[in-house]
Structure 1
């Protein structure tokens, strides 16, 4: 394995870990109630979030950004997530999962239903 190949391999292995550790360090610095909210969002995202690593990493970092700003400004958590936290997180996921399987299948379903509706008058 050449040095270039080793560098690429190491970046793949260590890069995401460094990003994840940096994200977790940021979350630990949040006030307790904000940290609890981020931990809950993180847990949900682990199950239902984007599958592509780069999208997931960016999403977690942006959640940390959002809650850091909110904590600094004293913004209440409900003003961030609204009345339905699931809806809030699902909207985040849609912004980061453009190429994922679920997004493609949702688009395929919408297109098929629209096509079926258009065909209604041709029977």
Structure 2
């Protein structure tokens, strides 16, 4: 129980640091990160908290680098933000609940045949 609590508190601290860093981005980049984060939580449905935090840190790094280089949000996400979001999410499939459920379904069907 103590290990769970320690990890939970560390995750909460890490998320607060992430949110503070997002707040430091230029307005347009901050708005894009916030919109992508909302999309990821809805469409990505990642059940592993560590994967979520890693994904958000990677997203932040991407937009920090873009802002430092003077790149626009469009330069980062391109013409199709949904395609960008789905491709980005594809890098974190190991934490997505749908991937786990697809694996479970395949195993159940194989066992039934």
What range describes the TM-score normalised by the shorter chain of this pair? 0.7 to 0.9
Native 8 Å contact 2:47 2:95 kept in 1? no
Please say if 1:76 is aligned against 2:72: yes
CA separation of 1:85 and 1:11: change in aligned 2, threshold 3 A: same
Please say if 1:61 is aligned against 2:52: no
Tell me which of 20, 24, 43 is aligned to 2:19.
24
Native 8 Å contact 1:51 1:100 kept in 2? yes
What TM-score do the two structures reach when normalised by structure 2? 0.81
Tell me which of 55, 61, 83 is aligned to 1:87.
83
2-side partners of 1:36 and 1:100: how far apart? 24
2-side partners of 1:25 and 1:75: how far apart? 21
Native 8 Å contact 1:94 1:103 kept in 2? no
What TM-score do the two structures reach when normalised by structure 1? 0.75
Aligned length: 103
CA shift at 1:13, angstroms?
2.1
What root-mean-square deviation, in Å, do the aligned CA atoms of Structure 1 and Structure 2 show? Answer: 1.9
| Long gaps (5+) in structure 2 | 107-113
**Structure having greater relative contact order (Cα 8 Å, sep ≥ 6):** 2
**Within 5 A, what are the aligned runs for 1:5-24?**
6=2, 8-24=3-19
State the 4+ residue runs in structure 1 displaced beyond 4 angstroms: none
Deviations 1:63-119 (A, max 9, x none): 00000000000011111101111111111111112253323528x78xxxxxxxxxx
